[in-house]
């Protein structure tokens, strides 16, 4: 006769097996090979590894507690069903930790890729520059990575991760097809806008201000539903000007049936309307004939002739309501901005089209100044130059690739220099 298996012993072995596999979840700083310039910034690397180390320690303690329970009097008296129930919950927690490790691993492993690894480090610098808004909030660690598809995405810092726990960094997915050109700036800064909106509580603030209006008109009901994406688009236009709208056109240029489609569960505006909103925001921040030209070009791509009556009526109503809504958006004063409007804190004077083209001309005569400028300003200048026909896609791609490498290298050297100059400083005891 076969000897019956000891359920308690089997569960103990499975729990010990979890411990052996958990021991292989090691900090990225000792397992991921990459150029120094491609590495995430120290505070980002520390945030990720510190979070995973903490999770591993907590899980190890849970496994040890389970083993101790199996050996206790209560565990020996418990049924096999109870033991299996406890172990199953433990394994689910283990799998959640492994999933989180793999999520960050996918992003960090790309830093070992030739060229694109360093470019990603450069995008980290661009993202931090696009998000910075002192003194209204402290910028969280940011980590960019590439993925397939045409759309970008962000898993914001301080949000809940799959399986539990608070995300230690803002993890930004950038479409690989957008590397390398000004289009990457549009996608990247839009996602950064989502993080900024969360830090400033913009969506809730705007929805509170819109509450009465959104209960009355069709247009305002849609603005309310789409406000999270509209705010992110606002941030992108405010930071990089017309390059944001042109990049958006590149993302939402889809077959005609998708352009006029609405979905009550989708926070993204109808693509046709989204481009018009982006151009209207640009016109409000940086008045110039180009915005009307961009909107007219977009409408020529997707004319409204031939739409069914219901869709045509909705499109007409929404387009008519854009000026009032954009005026409301630009003049909104969120509590966290301490009485200032969104437009005021974004400093639109530095992004006026004429000013951007003037900078482009200056940098052509004095190329060294290009490398001293703010990364997000540089990308705004390139986007403006493309629209004005003063910079070619080929030139733009070459320059951006070179600049991403420069920004990554400069930041790495700056951090190293800081560490050297502060190595002998002792922490102040309080």
Count, residues in the chain: 430
Q: Say what the pLDDT of residue 2 is.
A: 47
Identify the bridge partners of residue 153 per DSSP, sorted by sequence position.
173
Percent of the chain with pLDDT over 90: 62
Query: DSSP labels for 5-52?
Result: P-HHHHHHHHHHHHHHHHTT---GGGT----GGGSPPHHHHHHHHHHH
pLDDT, tens only, 188-200: 999 999 999 999 9
The pairing of strands 142-147 and 170-175 is parallel
- Residue 240 domain flag: yes
Total structural domains in the chain?
2
Give the Cα separation of 406 and 367 in Å (integer): 13
Tell me the longest C-alpha to C-alpha distance in the chain.
91
Q: Which of 7-21, 25-39, 287-301 has the lowest mean pLDDT?
A: 25-39
Shared domain check, 88 and 196: no
Shared domain check, 317 and 204: yes
Q: Say what the pLDDT of residue 419 is.
A: 53
- Residue 381 domain flag: no
Residue 428 has pLDDT above 50, yes or no: no
pLDDT bucket at 112, cuts 50 / 70 / 90: confident
- Residue 77 domain flag: yes
Q: Say what the pLDDT of residue 31 is.
A: 65
pLDDT bucket at 223, cuts 50 / 70 / 90: very high
The SS3 assignment for 171 reads: strand
Model pTM score = 0.86
Q: Which of 112-126, 209-223, 294-308 has the lowest mean pLDDT?
A: 209-223
Residue 186 sits in which domain range? 179-349
C-alpha 119 chain-centroid distance: 16
Between 206 and 346, residue with greater pLDDT: 206
- Residue 167 domain flag: no
Beta carbons of 52 and 100 less than 8 angstroms apart: yes
- Residue 45 domain flag: yes
Q: Say what the pLDDT of residue 4 is.
A: 59
Shared domain check, 190 and 94: no
Residue 265 has pLDDT above 70, yes or no: yes
Burial class of 345 by CB neighbour count within 10 A (0 to 12, 13 to 18, 19+):
middle
Structure tokens at 422: 């502060």
Q: Say what the pLDDT of residue 1 is.
A: 43
Which whole number is the average pLDDT over 36-44?
A: 84
């Amino acid at each position: 006769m076969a000897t019956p298996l000891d359920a308690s012993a089997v569960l103990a072995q499975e729990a010990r097996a979890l411990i052996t596999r958990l021991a292989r979840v090691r900090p990225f700083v000792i397992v991921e090979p990459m150029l120094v310039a491609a590495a995430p910034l120290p505070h980002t690397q520390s945030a990720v590894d510190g979070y995973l180390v903490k999770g591993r320690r907590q899980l190890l303690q849970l496994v040890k507690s389970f083993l101790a329970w199996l050996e206790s009097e209560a565990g020996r008296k418990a049924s096999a069903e109870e033991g299996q129930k406890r172990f199953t919950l433990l394994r689910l927690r283990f799998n959640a930790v492994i999933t989180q490790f793999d999520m960050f691993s996918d992003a960090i492993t790309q830093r070992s890729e030739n060229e694109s690894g360093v470019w990603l480090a450069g995008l980290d610098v661009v993202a931090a520059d696009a998000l910075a808004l002192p003194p209204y909030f402290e910028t969280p660690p940011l980590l960019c990575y590439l993925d397939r598809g045409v759309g970008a995405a962000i898993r914001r810092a301080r949000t809940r991760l799959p399986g539990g726990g608070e995300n230690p960094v803002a993890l930004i997915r950038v479409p690989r097809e957008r590397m390398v050109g000004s289009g990457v700036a549009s996608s990247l800064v839009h996602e950064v806008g989502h993080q900024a909106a969360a830090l400033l509580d913009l969506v809730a603030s705007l929805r509170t201000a819109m509450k009465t209006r959104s209960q009355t008109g069709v247009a305002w009901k849609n603005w309310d539903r789409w406000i999270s994406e509209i705010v992110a688009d606002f941030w992108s236009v405010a930071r990089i000007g017309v390059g944001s709208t042109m990049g958006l056109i590149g993302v939402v240029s889809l077959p005609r049936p998708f352009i006029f489609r609405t979905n009550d569960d989708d926070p993204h505006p109808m693509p046709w309307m989204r481009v018009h909103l982006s151009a209207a925001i640009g016109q409000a921040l940086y008045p110039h004939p180009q915005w009307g030209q961009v909107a007219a070009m977009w409408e020529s791509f997707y004319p409204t002739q031939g739409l069914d009556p219901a869709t045509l009526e909705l499109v007409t109503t929404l387009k008519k309501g854009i000026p009032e809504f954009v005026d409301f958006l630009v003049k909104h004063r969120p509590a966290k901005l301490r009485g200032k409007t969104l437009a005021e804190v974004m400093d639109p004077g530095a992004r006026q089209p004429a000013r951007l083209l003037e900078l482009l001309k200056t940098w052509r005569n004095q190329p060294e100044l290009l490398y001293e400028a703010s990364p997000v300003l540089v990308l705004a200048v390139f986007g403006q130059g493309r629209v004005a026909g003063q910079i070619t896609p080929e030139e733009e791609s070459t320059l951006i690739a070179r600049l991403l490498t420069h920004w990554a290298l400069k930041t790495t050297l700056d951090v190293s220099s800081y560490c050297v100059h502060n190595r002998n400083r002792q922490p102040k005891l309080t």
